[in-house]
Amino acid sequence: MAEGRYRVFVYGTLLTGEENHEVVAPYVRAVCSGKVNGRLYNVGPYPALVLGEEGEVEGEWLTVTEEGLKAMDELEDYVEGRRDNEYERVWVRDARKPIEGYVYVYPPEKAAGLPLIPSGSWRRREEKM
């Protein structure tokens, strides 16, 4: 990976064509489809990913510049080392391809009680809110 470039798995409003993609679009250098192991939950206007061995979540791997990673951190209200982040940024591997990078995940305890998106796809969720 080129210096100053980061691969990030996105699965919700940052996907190409979705409402928050414009936040990262100027910094995207490459896009490819992907899947990670876990479950997707509906928080309302956006989804939450809980990593795990059950299920697969569809999304895209975005290769972004350092500015793009900072823009995503700001959107997700993520600050490294802070204890009360809504999402955590962690390292993950694709479920089927030899790709790895960052992903923003939701703590399982926060997802308890949220509706599951059985398809594992934000774009194919059953109820658009």
Order across the sheet with 47-65: list the strands.
28-42, 47-65, 5-10, 100-105, 88-93
Q: List the catalytic residue out of 54, 76, 88, 126.
A: 76
**C-alpha span between 46 and 30 (Å, rounded):** 23
76 is catalytic: yes
Q: State whether the Cα torsion 47-39-82-86 is positive or negative.
A: positive
CB-CB contact of 64 with 99 (8 Å): no
Contacts for 71-74: CB closer than 8 Å, 24+ residues apart? 71/23, 71/24, 71/27, 72/8, 72/14, 72/23, 72/24, 72/104
Which residues are catalytically annotated? 76
